[in-house]
A and B are shown apart, each in its own frame.
Chain A
Amino acid sequence: MSIFEYNGSALVAMVGKNCFAIASDRRLGVQLQTIATDFQRIHKIHDRLFLGLSGLGTDTQTLYQRLVFRHKLYQLREERDMKPETFASLVSAILYEKRFGPYFCQPVIAGLSDEDKPFICTMDSIGAKELAKDFVVAGTAGESLYGACEAMFKPDMEPEELFETISQALLSSVDRDCLSGWGGHVYVV
């Protein structure tokens, strides 16, 4: 077993027309045993920036705390919110710092820039950024999410359609993954 599969997770983010959506499942397990069914994997950094963390629960929470801390310091110093691109570089730098003893999590970052341009991005556990124009996935259901998103995604969706697409992609994918499920959270911004 890979340590990334210990708690199970499904994460996906998609880009629409001047909007984005980010969704995750709600399960937290210990291997096949379900522990919690209302686990939060997506966190709000600020109004227009969301962070999803898949992988080992303990590391996702630690990493989240460090990132929120760094973002608050940034807000204090700069008196403004971080741009999604900047935040992605911060996450990448924090992950790469632990290149030889990584956090076991794969983040998904989704945000809106000042001009309402959507930005999504994912990384591996040591901070190799992958910027995508359409959608990004992470977690134990990643493989099935790739399939579902490749088929269902189309460019420039309006928020309503985007919500429907991302929800259907998430739900159909977690159905084929034993380690994630129990419905999902969807954020459309």
Chain B
Amino acid sequence: MENSGGFSFDLCKRNGWLVEKGIVKPPSFTKTGTTIVGLVFQDGVILGADTRATAGSIVCDKNCEKIHYMAPNIYCCGAGTAADTEAVTDMVSSQLQLHRYHTGRESRVITALTLLKKHLFGYQGYVSAALVLGGVDCTGPHLHTIYPHGSTDTLPFATMGSGSLAAMSVFESKYKEGLTRDEGIKIVTEAICAGIFNDLGSGSNVDVCVLTKGHKEYLRNNLMPNPRTYVSAKGYSFSKKTEVLMTKVTPLKERVEVIEAGDAMEE
């Protein structure tokens, strides 16, 4: 059973029974209620994302990373169930790495796209990952969107996630062909901010990734429009100490120092 690979459906029957008996409601997972965007500019592709991860109404990560690495020249923004976006991008990026070892050539965006859509289509939408895939390869810059059911689009500018409507409003009014790098970053940042401020599922900071021919620039926390303003300078002091009932000190095991013998092996 161990290490067989693929999903394991062992607990499905039990979990389904628990839900069916009305004992419980099905569990909810960490979602990246998200704003992710991408656009094509004159020398390449720019991707953008917010950094909020939520579980229901709780913000469980205020500064997570949603722009995933696929290949040195390809990155991918993920929205939907956090575990799915993470797993699917990791899986495909390792397939791309193996493919590069095999062929000795730079990965192509279309390869990543096909691998991603094949996986997502196979799971018929149950693996809920909505992706914006961007990269520059030997055939130029490419930007694609991939839906959880496995359909794909090829676009000059794209948005995804719960904040996609807010972000698209920025793109629709400001995008034009042949943007410069700085104009592109500005519009992407603005679009993410539209998501952060107008969509409750998105929030915190703006991550940006600029991909050009033979070069990438990952601008982590490119803009931090929501700094914490309520930190107490004094810190917190407790009037009464915690009542300790029992203390046990276990010293850490001493590390064995490996000392190289006086005469190292000579050739």
Contact = CB atoms under 8 A, between A and B. Distances in A.
B18 interface: yes
Interface residues of B, number: 44
Interface string A134-154: 000000001100100001101
A125 B84 CA distance: 12
Contacts of A142: 58
B12 interface: yes
B63 to A, nearest CB: 8
B11 interface: yes
B110 interface: no
Given A100-B12, A101-B15, A124-B29, A164 B81 contact: no
A103 B29 CA distance: 12
B236 interface: yes
Interface string B167-198: 00000000000000000000000000000000
Nearest to A89: B90
Contact of A168 (B8, B55, B242): B242
A2 B10 contact: no
A128 B10 contact: no
Contacts of A104: 15, 27
Interface residues of A, number: 40
A48 to B, nearest CB: 7
A65 B261 CA distance: 40
A3 B83 contact: no
Contact of A130 (B60, B81, B84): B60
B230 to A, nearest CB: 9
Contacts of B25: 1-2
B14 interface: yes
A130 B8 contact: no
A39 interface: no
Interface string A87-100: 00000100111111
Interface in B231-267: 232, 235-236, 238, 241-242, 245, 250, 252-253
A99 B84 contact: yes
B244 to A, nearest CB: 8
Interface in A61-116: 70, 92, 95-104
Contact of A128 (B8, B27, B82, B250): B82
Given A1-B23, A124-B82, A130 B10 contact: no
Given A165-B236, A183-B245, A124 B24 contact: no
B238 to A, nearest CB: 5
Most buried by B among A1, A102, A165, A171: A102
A124 B83 contact: yes
A130 B27 contact: no
Contacts of A130: 30, 53, 60-61, 64
A101 B242 contact: no
Contacts of B53: 128, 130
Nearest to B19: A3
Contact of A98 (B8, B23, B29, B84): B8
A168 B238 contact: yes
A152 B55 CA distance: 23
B236 A128 contact: no
Contacts of A47: 250, 252-253
Given A97-B6, A128-B30, A164-B242, 14 more contacts: A2-B24, A47-B253, A70-B2, A98-B9, A101-B8, A101-B10, A101-B11, A101-B12, A124-B55, A124-B82, A128-B29, A130-B60, A164-B241, A168-B242
